[in-house]
Amino acid sequence: MFKIYKNLLIILLLSLPLLSCNTTSSNNVKKSDAQKITNIEYGTIKTSLPVKIKGESDWIGLTAGTMIGGLLGTQICGQEEVLGTKCQDIAVVYGAIGGAALGSVIQAKIGNHDGFQYIINIDQCGENSTNCESNQDKAFVQGDENPIAKGHRVVIIYGDDVRVMPYEN
């Protein structure tokens, strides 16, 4: 019985770093975004509203849960037969299915975090940056611990993900 708990603990400890790498902070940049040309816009924060960003599940949580559930299923029953099938085989199948569902839910819950929805008045400068107009609003959501203050100048960086960063002239 101790062996079951030891195996479960080892698998959980190895899986948690994979499941908890979910954030939308503007300070975190993916390696694939490095050394790329991206478009930018400048603007001014009109409002920043707190939001709850819901985590999402993908194949990592599903796979980790399936493996953990299947492994735990091997520790149940033994070689006894139920309806002509080894009890352990049935336990592995149900353990894998239950583990997959649980892994998906855990990954989504771990990904939940706080953020802000920013309404930004975008500068329209065209080719001449000395004659900028502010005439278009856009909304962006990103994970931040503290909001960017109303009236603060920002730069919006468009890549695989969009980032809103404070900007000083």
Write the pLDDT tens digit of every residue in 143-157.
888 999 999 999 999
Q: Is 105 inside a domain boundary?
A: yes
Number of domains composing the chain = 2
**5, part of any domain:** no
47: closest CA among 134, 123, 142, 149? Answer: 149
Q: pTM for the whole thing?
A: 0.59
Please say which residue of 111, 136, 159 terminates a domain. 111
Which structure tokens are listed for 78? Answer: 């033994």
Task: Please tell me whether residues 120 and 169 are part of one structural domain.
Answer: yes
Q: What is the DSSP letter of 25?
A: B
In the structure, what pLDDT confidence band is assigned to residue 161 with cuts at 50, 70 and 90? confident
The whole-angstrom separation of Cα 99 and Cα 164 is: 37
Residues 131 and 118 in one domain: yes
Q: Is residue 83 part of a domain?
A: yes
For 70, the domain range is 55-111
